[in-house]
Amino acid sequence: MKALNELIRRLAQLGLLGLFVGLLCLPFNLVDRWGDQLLGLLPAFSGSTWRPLTVLLACSPVVVFPLLMLLQSGIFSRGKGSGIPQTMTSLEEPEQAGVLLGLVPSLQRLLLWTLASLSLMPLGREGPVVQIGASAAYWLRRRFPRWLADLSHSDLMAVAGGAGLAGGFNTPLMGVVFVAEEFLGTFSMRLIWPALVISALAAAVSSAVGEPEFALGMVGVAPAELIQLSWALPIGVLAGALGAVFARTLLQVTRCFRSLLQRQPLRLGLLLGVCLSVFLLLSGGASGCDGELLMRHMIEGGSPTNALLPGVLGDLFTLVLRVIGPVLALGAGIPGGLIDPSFAFGAVLGHSLGDAGMVPQMGLAFGMVAGLAGATQLPVMAVLFAVRMAGDQQLLPGLLLASVIAAYVSRLLVDKPVYHALKEIGDEPMAPAS
């Protein structure tokens, strides 16, 4: 009886933490939808021409980007950065969790990310939702020291951070695998079991308030396994290499921007804001937001091609913008994530390659998973994310091959996984401002 009572108490604590994390993810999910609704007004998705309102929307980064740089260099300095490197630092050095994961940095990161998302900047949301999940666990442990007492402070924040991914994307298994692949480096049953419970409850909250099971739609193709594998290999190599280039460039830009942001935040913000606005105007909006609307558009039979450059040139142009845009925004320290952006440029590349062989939908699915695996070097998480977001279980053989090939290619080109490398950059001492 005592063992049963202990099990019930533990499950209740895990479940309440999962529900709490899911509720905290709701603002991020709502803002993400609002951003896509605004982006949907632009010509690439509405089919209409430019109007004064849509031009103003496309030009909003010119105003918002400098504002974000000023805030991040001043009163909102604790909210800058993705959120995942800050969480990783808190796991390794729990004494810093109060500074990195407390209420103040969480609210600052939410506001900064909201401003960026509603101005159509090409950012994902996994960084802020992972951080808010870890912050929930940090707050509960401080308020109730015996909360899930069998888990260490760091382990508790790790599984809750993974639950943030589950709550942000309605992807419970991806949250669990992220904990194992990225935070812990091992699939430990001692932590996987509680992570499953917390992530499942967080995802249930996400689902209950409208986050769809297959967020991007259903990829409606089921080619034979040999055909899948024959396409997965080249797409995995190319999209994986592109993901590695994206990660490597992001790291270089982040390091370069650190000193510039300290010395000239307003000037750099204005320059980057102009760049992102020009990207939106030239692409008709295809370069904006996290890329989910673009991927949904392609799954439904559309094309990334824009009116300015139709055909293959248009696809290539969109691909370049979908790589450069997130690098500029994330490299400047704006809170966000690279999962959706890398998913998106992989989708554009895979769709274009597949279209040449009359299999655009299959190419799109393989490009998604390979782009993400190449950028993050997390192949298992990439497969789970692809299956959950696009409902393409029938393509699992090809997805697995494309993902692992992409991760291997990326490892040849980038020494460390991108989030670990970003954490190291963040931990480097800042040079004194001149």
Radius of gyration for the chain, computed over Cα atoms and rounded to the nearest angstrom: 21
Q: Examine the domain organization and report whether 371 and 237 are in the same domain.
A: yes
Q: Which residue has better confidence, 429 or 260?
A: 260
Residue 275 shares a structural domain with residue 397: yes
d(CA 47, CA 49): 7
Q: Is the pLDDT of residue 130 over 90?
A: yes
Instruction: Please report whether residue 175 resides in a domain.
Output: yes
pLDDT attached to residue 434:
47
Question: Cβ distance 101 to 56 under 8 Å?
Answer: no
Asked if residue 305 and residue 201 are part of one domain, the reply reads no
Q: What is residue 409's predicted lDDT score, i.e. its pLDDT?
A: 96
In a domain, 215, yes or no: no
Taking the C-alpha atoms of residue 421 and residue 429, their distance in angstroms, rounded to an integer, is 15
On whether residue 248 sits in a domain, the answer given is yes
Q: What is the pLDDT of residue 404?
A: 94
Residue 222 backbone class (left: φ over 0; alpha: ψ -120 to 50; beta: rest): beta
What CATH number is attached to the domain comprising 412?
1.10.3080.10
Give the span between the Cα atoms of 193 and 7, in whole angstroms.
13
CA distance 369 to 358: 19
Same domain assignment for residues 87 and 203: yes
Based on the domain organization, do 373 and 423 belong to the same domain?
yes
With cut-offs at 50, 70 and 90, classify the pLDDT of residue 307: low
Q: What is the pLDDT of residues 336-361, one digit of tens each?
A: 999 999 999 999 999 999 888 888 88
pLDDT at 160: 92
Domain-located, residue 71: no
Between CA 292 and CA 108 the distance in angstroms is 24
Q: Same domain, yes or no, for 256 and 382?
A: yes
- Of 42-56, 190-204, 240-254, give the lowest mean pLDDT range: 190-204
108 shares a domain with 22: yes
Alpha helices in 119-152 (DSSP H): 126-143
Across 79-110, b (16+ Cβ under 10 Å) vs e yields bbbbbbbbbbbbbeebeebeebbeeebbebbb
Check residue 27 and give its pLDDT. 93
Instruction: Tell me whether residue 192 is in a domain.
Output: yes
Q: How far is it, in rounded angstroms, from Cα 71 to Cα 82? A: 15
Q: Tell me what pLDDT residue 121 has.
A: 96
Closest CA to 318 of 303, 297, 336, 328: 303
How does pLDDT run across 45-62, given as a tens digit for each residue?
Answer: 988 889 999 999 999 999
Structural contact between residues 280 and 122, judged by C-beta atoms closer than 8 angstroms: no
Work out the mean pLDDT of the chain and round it to a whole number: 88
Contacts of 7 (CB under 8 A, 6+ apart): none
The answer to whether the beta carbons of residues 79 and 111 sit under 8 Å apart is yes
Residues 254-264 pLDDT 10s: 999 988 888 88
Specify whether 31 is located in the same domain as 159. yes
Asked if the structure places residue 50 within a domain, the reply is no
User: Does some domain include residue 422?
Assistant: yes
Q: Average pLDDT in the 222-239 region?
A: 89
Per-residue pLDDT, 54 = 94
pLDDT digits (tens, 9 = 90+) for 71-121: 998 899 999 988 899 899 888 888 888 888 888 999 999 999 999 999 999
CA atoms lying within 13 Å on the CB side of residue 124:
24
Query: Are residue 192 and residue 277 in the same domain, yes or no?
Result: no
Whether the CB-CB separation of 199 and 18 falls below 8 Å is answered with yes
Q: Is the pLDDT of residue 305 over 60?
A: yes
Whether residue 252 sits in one domain with residue 131 = no
Residue 306 pLDDT greater than 70, yes or no? no
Report the percentage of the chain scoring pLDDT > 90: 49
> What is the dihedral sign for C-alpha 23, 25, 27, 33?
negative
Cβ neighbours, 10 Å, residue 73: 19
pLDDT at res. 244 = 96
pLDDT exceeds 60 at position 402: yes
pTM of this structure: 0.91
- Is 179 domain-assigned? yes
Tell me the mean pLDDT in the region 41-45: 92
Whether residue 224 has pLDDT greater than 90: no
Same-domain pairing of 177 and 282: no
Instruction: Identify the domain containing residue 256 by its residue range.
Output: 225-427
* 222 pLDDT above the threshold of 80: no
Bridge partners (DSSP) of residue 124 are 337
Identify whether residues 204 and 278 lie together within a single domain: no
Better-scored residue on pLDDT, 171 or 190: 171
Number of domains the chain contains:
2
